[in-house]
Amino acid sequence: MVKMKASTICGSDLHIYRRTKEGMKNVPQVIAGHEPCGVVDTVGENVTNVKPGDRVSVLHAIGCGFCEDCIRGYDYRCRNMDTIDGRPWWTGQTGNKDGGFADYLLVPSRGCLPLPGELSFIDGAIMACAGGTAYEVLKKLTVSSHDTLAIYGLGPVGLCAVMISKGLGAEVIGVDLVEERRELSLKLGADNVIDAKSSVLDEVKALTKGRGTDAAVDFSGSNVARTNAINGVRFGGRVGFIGHGDVELPIRPSELVSNDITIRGSPIFRTDTYFEMAAFLVKNRISLERTVTHRFTIEQAAEAFRLFDSGRTGKVTFVWE
């Protein structure tokens, strides 16, 4: 049993928040919230990996721990996994458990990941999904100090990517429709920002002296952004997709071949990535809490969701004393 200290709202929570009453029929009737962090309150008699008082970030896709996918770190691919907050995620699993928008969270002990003392509870909550998701795709694209990176979509996951990319030494260009989010990305370290309503590719080319970026990641799910991400990278560029778009994207394989472009999809993050990410944040003194623009108590949930749904905030979090 984990006593909540922070639980952040994820953009994917809005998919359920926006549903009609009719559309809720197939949604598991459990408490939402899959970015929780807190302190272990009590443990079962067979639990040995955590003890009361431990600070933990809680993994939201918790595998059995024994199958090939779990052993490789892909808990979210386990056919017998538990998902907190009721979402079946990628392969239709149904082990739905209550999530972290509550005072306490009951979770399999495998899902309790140690939170370093140098990181805050809000850091730990963000790392449970948004931060881990951003870190994973940047790792797949081998982003480094040699790179100029374009980040399409400066919502909370994109903002985490800005901070992590700067920690990796990259030059960052942020692209978004919303002025408030562009301004926040500059405060978090982005070198340049582009209004997505402008001629994005022309501006990308101008900022890179006609060369294009070394890498690009789309967090928006917009086909316009995805197309710009592909067309805006240089020869040999790398592109990552995170956002879930429902519309098919036309891609010309001949252009990928002639320009030697690599495209990587990336869902959430491998379990072992959490430990690498935590060490990286501590070493580089990066606090993802800086992406938070609004804090609420759980009793203010309705107000918090209305504000977050405006699309003009950074990360929004519930906090407990």
- CATH number reported for the structural domain that contains residue 39 in this entry: 3.90.180.10
Of 224, 245, 265, the last residue of a domain is: 265
pLDDT at 207: 97
Two tokens, residue 208: 């890179």
Q: CA-CA distance, 151 to 190, in Å (whole number)?
A: 9
Q: Are residues 122 and 244 in the same domain?
A: no
Q: Are residues 125 and 137 in the same domain?
A: no
Q: Is residue 115 predicted with pLDDT exceeding 70?
A: yes
Q: CA-CA distance, 6 to 100, in Å (whole number)?
A: 9
For residue 220, what is the domain's CATH number? Answer: 3.40.50.720
pLDDT at 85: 75
pLDDT, tens digit, 9 for 90 and up, residues 209-220: 999 999 999 999
More reliable by pLDDT, 297 or 75: 297
Mean pLDDT of all residues in 145-160: 96
Element spanning 3, H or E: strand 2-8
Residue 47 Cα distances to 1, 109, 112, 271, 303, angstroms: 11, 7, 11, 19, 38
Range of the domain at 242: 133-265
pLDDT, tens digit, 9 for 90 and up, residues 45-57: 999 999 999 999 9
Q: Are residues 123 and 145 in the same domain?
A: no
Angle between helices 200-207 and 223-231 (to 10 degrees): 30
pLDDT at 87: 57
pLDDT bin (cut points 50, 70, 90) of residue 180 is: very high
Q: Which of 105, 107, 106, 85 is nearest to 96 (CA)?
A: 85
Q: Are residues 14 and 127 in the same domain?
A: yes
Structural domain total, the chain: 2
pLDDT, tens digit, 9 for 90 and up, residues 74-90: 988 888 888 887 555 44
Report the percent of the chain where pLDDT is more than 70.
93
Mean pLDDT of all residues in 224-242: 95
Of 221, 238, 265, the last residue of a domain is: 265
More reliable by pLDDT, 31 or 138: 138
Whether 240 contacts 141, CB under 8 Å: yes
Q: Is residue 91 predicted with pLDDT exceeding 50?
A: no
Whether 266 contacts 140, CB under 8 Å: yes
pLDDT, tens digit, 9 for 90 and up, residues 185-218: 999 999 999 999 999 999 999 999 999 999 999 9
Ranges 11-15, 97-101, 159-163: which has the least confidence: 11-15
Q: Are residues 80 and 187 in the same domain?
A: no
Q: Are residues 208 and 119 in the same domain?
A: no
pLDDT, tens digit, 9 for 90 and up, residues 305-320: 999 999 999 999 999 9
Q: Is residue 36 predicted with pLDDT exceeding 90?
A: yes
Q: Are residues 94 and 151 in the same domain?
A: no
pLDDT at 30: 82
Q: Are residues 109 and 163 in the same domain?
A: no
Q: Are residues 256 and 301 in the same domain?
A: no
pLDDT at 89: 47
